[in-house]
Amino acid sequence: MSDHGTSVLVINGPNLGRLGTREPDVYGALDAAGLAEAIRGWAEELGLTAEVRQTDDEATLVGWLHEAVDTRRDVVLNPAAFTHYSYALRDAAAQVTTAGLRLVEVHLTNPATRERFRHTSVVAGVATGTVAGFGPDSYRLALTALQGGGPHGAAAG
């Protein structure tokens, strides 16, 4: 099966299931279910289908990236804290982009403006691109980037 170009896997990493109650002054009031609903709605408006998943588990994240490769799906990934140190996640993300699929790294906040340990992303170097700092809109912007155009989108060729 190939959903490539229309179906996007949106993957959220650790602690993002706690949105709404987790540091709302930093991450906002929208909870994880609300975010997932918004993402699915934005995707639909853009002619895409978004499957939204969240886990706190690194191995599960790696497995989902393998699945994206095997099912030929572009990925929107918020690696959360794993952004800053998970080489396993970086290596899995690299498999997505070297397979000719696109992976957009997203962040609600702009890590570059925060604590020093957040200034490093080990994922960015293998991502197609990064959107950070726009709150939930970061996901909408990432989906917009995956809509149609680009070398791997539905409008390609």
| Least separation in angstroms between CB 78 and ligand DQA | 5
**Residues 3-22 within binding reach of ligand DQA (CB under 6 A):** 15
Query: What are the structure tokens assigned to 9, written together?
Result: 């896997």
How far apart, in Å, are the Cα atoms of 79 and each of 25, 46, 47, 122, 127? Answer: 20, 23, 25, 10, 12
| Least separation in angstroms between CB 138 and ligand DQA | 7
When the beta carbons of 6 and 139 are compared against ligand DQA, the nearer one is 139
**Residues 95-114 within binding reach of ligand DQA (CB under 6 A):** 107-109, 111
When the beta carbons of 16 and 153 are compared against ligand DQA, the nearer one is 16
Q: Which of 83, 86, 97, 128 touches ligand DQA (CB under 6 A)?
A: 83
State the catalytic residues. 27, 107
When the beta carbons of 15 and 49 are compared against ligand DQA, the nearer one is 15
Closest CA to 78 of 141, 24, 21, 20: 141
| Least separation in angstroms between CB 5 and ligand DQA | 26
Q: Which of 10, 19, 80, 103 touches ligand DQA (CB under 6 A)?
A: 80
Per CB under 6 A, residues contacting ligand DQA are 15, 78, 80-81, 83, 107-109, 111, 118
